[in-house]
């Protein structure tokens, strides 16, 4: 239901260290893909993601590595995207793109993270313009509408992942938001790194429950 909403902040937003280097991101994303395959992927996804040997290993309860990302972005492509938008991406997002230029499957209601060449101002994306216009027509949503108009959209599906270049921390990280238009819920994170870690931590919790069962 669309309506006036409040922004919430996860209690454990600061638990994970901010990832900024391509090597650090690569290690984290490999584990993220492994967890996604084990905890979130359904039968059809598994067939698409894994070969026969990997599927058999998964059935035996063995660890299966699956890279759900893309090839690293070239520095030239990253700079071109920044110049197109008129900003320099925060350290964690730059490090992510230099490890993987986009990401296919996430523990979130978004259709993967955009490659750097498709990162766009929310106000300029088709879905973003539609959501902004809808919320702008409802009194009481002024804060969200202003957020939409100033934020960069890095992922979009049923929900949006946004980064606010006007809210910069001492480490150079931009505030990150997960926005669910269906419910009007906005969750704020200290950085892009913290935002993607939230899904990782959720999968870890479910993995622990599966191991106990």
pLDDT of 5 higher than 70 = no
What is the structure's pLDDT at 129? Answer: 96
Boundaries of every domain in the chain = 7-212
Q: How many residues does the chain have?
A: 213
**Distance (Å, whole) CA 162 – CA 147:** 9
The model's confidence at residue 67, banded by pLDDT at 50, 70 and 90, is confident
> What confidence score (pLDDT) does residue 157 get?
93
Map tokens 């992942």 to a residue. Answer: 161
pLDDT digits (tens, 9 = 90+) for 91-122: 999 999 999 999 988 888 998 999 999 999 99
Q: What pLDDT score was predicted for residue 10?
A: 58
pLDDT at 132: 96
Low-confidence winner among 12-21, 41-50, 196-205 (lowest mean pLDDT):
41-50
Separation between Cα atoms, residue 146 and residue 67, nearest integer Å: 36
Whether the pLDDT of residue 19 is over 60: the answer is yes
Mean pLDDT on 47-60: 59
Across 199-207, average pLDDT: 88
pLDDT digits (tens, 9 = 90+) for 135-179: 999 999 999 999 999 999 999 999 999 999 999 999 999 999 999
| Reported confidence tier of residue 38, pLDDT bands at 50, 70, 90 | confident
Mean pLDDT of the residues in the chain:
86
| pLDDT at residue 54 in the model | 60
Alpha carbon of 47 to those of 42, 43, 50, 64, 114: distances in Å?
9, 6, 6, 13, 24
Determine contact, residues 146/139, Cβ cutoff 8 Å. Answer: no
- Tell me the mean pLDDT in the region 74-94: 98
Q: What residues contact residue 134 under an 8 Å CB cut-off, 6+ apart?
A: 2, 181
What's residue 15's pLDDT? Answer: 43
Query: For domain 7-212, is the CATH number 3.40.1580.10?
Result: yes
Helix (H, G, I), strand (E, B) or coil at 181: coil
Do the beta carbons of residue 180 and residue 2 sit within 8 Å? no
């Amino acid at each position: 239901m669309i309506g006036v909403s409040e922004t919430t902040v996860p209690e454990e937003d600061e638990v994970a260290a901010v990832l900024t280097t391509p090597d650090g991101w690569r290690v984290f994303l490999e584990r993220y893909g492994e967890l996604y395959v084990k905890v979130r992927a359904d039968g059809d996804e598994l067939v698409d993601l894994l070969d026969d040997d990997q599927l058999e290993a998964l059935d035996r309860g063995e660890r299966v590595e699956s890279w759900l990302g893309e090839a690293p972005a070239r520095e030239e492509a990253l700079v071109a995207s920044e110049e197109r938008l008129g900003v320099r991406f925060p350290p964690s997002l730059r490090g992510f793109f230099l490890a993987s230029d986009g990401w296919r499957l996430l523990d979130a209601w978004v259709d993967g993270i955009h490659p750097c060449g498709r990162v766009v101002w929310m106000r300029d994306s088709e879905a973003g313009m539609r959501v902004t216009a809808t919320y702008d027509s409802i009194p009481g949503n002024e804060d969200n509408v202003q957020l939409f108009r100033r934020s960069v959209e890095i992922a979009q599906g049923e929900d949006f992942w946004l980064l606010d270049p006007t809210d910069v921390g001492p480490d150079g990280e931009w505030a990150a938001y997960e926005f669910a238009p269906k419910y009007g819920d906005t969750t704020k994170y200290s950085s892009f790194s913290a935002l993607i870690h939230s899904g990782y931590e959720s999968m870890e919790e479910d993995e622990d429950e599966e191991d106990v069962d």
